[in-house]
Amino acid sequence: DAVTAGERPKATRHARHTFLTVYAAKLDAAREPAEPRAPGAGRLDPTARESRLRTTRISAFVLPRGIITVRTDDSFDMQPVVERWNEDPELLRLGVGALVHGLLDTVVDGHFEAIQQLDDAIEGLEDLLFDESGHVHAVQMRTYRLRKELVELRRVVLPMRDVVNAVLRHRSDLEQRHPELDGFYDDLYDHVLRAAEWTESLRDMVTTVFETNLSLQDARLNTVMKKLTGWAAIIAVPTAVTGWYGQNVPYPGFGQPVGVLVSAAVIVGIAATLYVVFRRKNWI
């Protein structure tokens, strides 16, 4: 299980040890979709829709007097974990449970950092959503990417509840139980729950942004259609008047200079009236 691809986060008890699998998460910096791929480029960078989330699987064999970790790559730095262990030597005297807590707490802190970055990205997306500069395509690409990243993050954050629960159940089998660690594990479990709830709320926010973007596009389309309809009505006035005067049946002013003046006055008067009416109704 330590080297098998696609393993879910879990905690399994065996006769002489407990096996843990968790995933560390990190959000890489990326070029935003609103920026061109290169100076002078006319289209957006296609890589902007790719997920920025990087996960590293960490497997751990928890023994009665130690812990052995196996990582799939070096993206997750163990130095912060070691520093956390060394910060409180008195805590380490409580046994291997303190080592497990330090490892899991560091992983969960990484989850919080990734979630915070996604939260900030969604806030920026909300600001761009109501920008009238025409960044429709950029909003669509960011929304797609954020939804993809949240789905990936959710797969590693939500199972952490079961992992911490399993560790809490098996602590008595791993070591001589130390009540001093109970508060630390309770705090860890609370952090895991908060991370899971935060991830779910961000997922709902992205869905809301996506639906709002569609609604705004419909509203903008309706505005454009109203403007086109208003201008079409104004343009139709000269066509109607000149068409009427183009008939073969004599009409008042036929063959006289005053007829041209009357037709021009009618065209300008009706067109101006329609323009004023449509302008007051915000149609144009």
- Listed by start position, the domains of the chain span 10-221, 225-280
Q: Assign 88 to helix, strand or coil.
A: coil
Tell if the pTM clears 0.85, that is, is over it. no
Radius of gyration of the chain (CA): 33
- pLDDT value of residue 177: 64
Residue 36 pLDDT > 60, yes or no? Answer: no
Is it the case that residue 193 has pLDDT exceeding 90?
yes
Q: How far is CA 133 from the centre of its chain?
A: 20
**What is the CATH number assigned to the segment(s) 10-221?**
1.20.58.340
d(CA 212, CA 44): 23
DSSP state of 128: H
- Highest mean pLDDT: which range of 45-59, 78-92, 128-142: 78-92
